[in-house]
Amino acid sequence: MSMTPSNMLPAQQVEDNSLGHFLYGLMSAFPLFFVPVLLSLWLNLIQKNVNPESVLGSHLRWQRMSIIGLCPFFIAGYWISPLWLSLPMYLVGVSWFSYRIFKGWISLNDGLAV
């Protein structure tokens, strides 16, 4: 019978969320002509080895839906001809996207799925 010290606990598997933090960082740089957002979407889409039921998997899905959800606001803003109508569409889209980045990043930092 082997004796183990009481302060030694079994090793727990810890998920590495650094990819999620990196992608949220890229998404938050959207004022730079949306190039970081497109890079973030591409990096997100090529992740095949992430378990979709994990915390990171839920954040990758959240990020994809955030980027795809931003597109209708920008398309509508582009097609609406008076500037006083198209500008609010852009502002609502950017505000909504910023909220999604903030909520997702805070949840990932706390280790919660979204």
pLDDT along the chain (114 residues), means of 10: 50 79 92 88 94 94 96 93 91 96 96 93
Distance of CA 110 to the CA centre of its chain: 14
Cβ atoms < 10 Å from Cβ of 14: 7
pLDDT computed for residue 5 by the predictor: 54
Within 1-114, where are the H helices?
Answer: 18-28, 35-45, 55-79, 83-109
Buried b (16+ CB within 10 A) or exposed e, 91-105: eebbeebeebbeebb
Stated pTM of the model: 0.81
Cβ atoms < 10 Å from Cβ of 59: 25
User: Residue 99 has which token pair?
Assistant: 């909220």
Selection from 68, 59, 56, 55 nearest residue 96 by Cα: 68
